[in-house]
């Protein structure tokens, strides 16, 4: 167990909420809501495939994706778990936890491949240098937490050897620069931001720690899948097409439209991630559930057969 996990979530949520200025608009016209698919997301490069798809789907089919932006995972989960949105691009572990607690959702695709880095202060040169240091992750239920465990193992350390803190992604680069923390792992582009302001450097990329890692997933509510099967099928097909279309150039064009970071930060970030072939394979999912169990994130994650659907036929 991570006994030293300190709760800084609330400060983080507050900071993110102020930044995001987001919310859900009421769809007053029922015709509108019939043709609209509401998808929740956070403004991170990990959700780029759904942002890319949103630009294309309405042109092709007349069905509109209403992107609902959130500033923090906890707010996004509230909307997803209460059925205020039809789906979300979300950390897979958080979605698994919701499913485990009885929320009717299915994972229908990956968010991306790879795409995470372990950023550490310039004074740290190996995993074993993290002994006695403070490391930030966005949420206990995340692949960032798993990647931290893998990093510590490389240095012969465990979570007992460091202090783990939860911080909002936006706070991490400055917290590293000020020395408040010694390292972090979080959704992009916040790793790239830390590097670009020279607060730290990359110690490991995710593929050096965990081959075929899973991080974010696209999930849909059971209600949406059951009530609008054709829309759900088309949405998932187009999502995967959008992912396949995200080569380096297209990813940069779309990222610049949605994110306020500089082109330099986005370019650094996008070199670590890919969006092709976003099916969730049984092997990679089972490897995730093994890690979730062995690192104490959850004792009872949902099985592949009850949680994952790759084709809505």
Applying CB under 5 A, the span of 105-113, 173-181, 193-201, 295-303 interacting with Zn ion comes to: 105-113
Burial (CB count <10 Å: 0-12, 13-18, 19+), residue 8: middle
Q: Is 261 helix (H, G, I), strand (E, B) or coil?
A: coil
- Residues binding Zn ion: what is the number (CB under 5 A)? 4
Answer yes or no whether residue 77 interacts with Zn ion by CB under 5 A: no
Pick from 37, 40, 46, 134: which binds Zn ion (CB under 5 A)?
Answer: 46
Answer yes or no whether residue 139 interacts with Zn ion by CB under 5 A: no
d(CA 106, CA 263): 34
- Smallest CA-to-CA distance from 23 within 44, 5, 1, 40 is with 40
The least distance separating Zn ion from the CB of residue 132, rounded to whole angstroms, comes to 29
- Within 8 A by CB and 6+ apart from 96, the residues are 141, 289, 292, 298, 301, 302, 307
Applying CB under 5 A, the span of 58-66, 108-116, 233-241, 279-287 interacting with Zn ion comes to: 108-116
Answer yes or no whether residue 216 interacts with Zn ion by CB under 5 A: yes
The least distance separating Zn ion from the CB of residue 216, rounded to whole angstroms, comes to 3
The residue among 215 and 297 lying less far from Zn ion, judged by its C-beta, is 215
Q: Could you write out the DSSP letters of every residue in 37-100? A: EEEEE-SSGGGHHHHHHHHHHHHHHSPEEEEEE-SSHHHHHHHHHTTSSSEEEEEHHHHHHHHH
The residue among 61 and 274 lying less far from Zn ion, judged by its C-beta, is 274
Q: Is 237 helix (H, G, I), strand (E, B) or coil?
A: helix
Applying CB under 5 A, the span of 57-65, 213-221, 280-288, 302-310 interacting with Zn ion comes to: 213-221
d(CA 31, CA 52): 24
The least distance separating Zn ion from the CB of residue 284, rounded to whole angstroms, comes to 14
Pick from 51, 77, 167, 215: which binds Zn ion (CB under 5 A)?
Answer: 215
The residue among 94 and 216 lying less far from Zn ion, judged by its C-beta, is 216
Binding site for Zn ion (CB under 5 A): 46, 111, 215-216
């Amino acid at each position: 167990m991570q006994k030293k996990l300190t709760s800084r979530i609330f400060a983080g949520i507050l900071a993110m909420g102020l930044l995001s200025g987001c919310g859900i608009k009421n769809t007053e016209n029922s015709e509108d809501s019939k043709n609209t698919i509401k998808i929740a997301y956070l403004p991170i490069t990990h959700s780029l495939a759904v942002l890319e798809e949103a630009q294309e789907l309405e042109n092709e089919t007349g069905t509109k994706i209403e992107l609902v932006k959130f500033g923090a995972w906890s707010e996004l989960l509230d909307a997803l778990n209460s059925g205020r949105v039809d789906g979300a691009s979300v950390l897979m572990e958080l979605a698994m936890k919701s499913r485990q607690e009885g929320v009717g959702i299915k994972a229908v695709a990956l968010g991306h491949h790879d795409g995470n880095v372990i950023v550490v202060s310039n004074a740290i040169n190996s995993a074993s240098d993290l002994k006695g240091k403070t490391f930030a992750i966005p949420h206990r239920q995340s692949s960032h937490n798993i990647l931290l465990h893998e990093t510590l193992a490389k240095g012969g350390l465990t979570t007992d050897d460091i202090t783990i803190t939860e911080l909002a992604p936006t706070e991490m680069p400055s917290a590293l620069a000020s020395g408040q923390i010694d390292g972090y792992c979080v959704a992009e582009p916040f790793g790239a931001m830390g590097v670009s302001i020279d607060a730290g450097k990359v110690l490991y990329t995710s593929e050096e720690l965990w081959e075929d890692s899973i991080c974010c997933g696209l999930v849909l509510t059971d209600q949406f899948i059951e009530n609008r099967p054709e829309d759900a099928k088309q949405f998932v097909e187009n999502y995967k097409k959008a992912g396949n279309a995200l080569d380096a150039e297209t990813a940069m064009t779309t990222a610049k439209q949605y994110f306020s970071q500089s082109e330099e930060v986005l370019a650094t970030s996008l070199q670590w991630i890919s969006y092709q072939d976003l099916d969730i394979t049984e092997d990679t999912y089972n490897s995730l559930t093994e890690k979730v169990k062995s690192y104490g994130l959850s004792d009872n994650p949902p099985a592949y057969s009850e949680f994952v659907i790759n084709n809505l036929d």
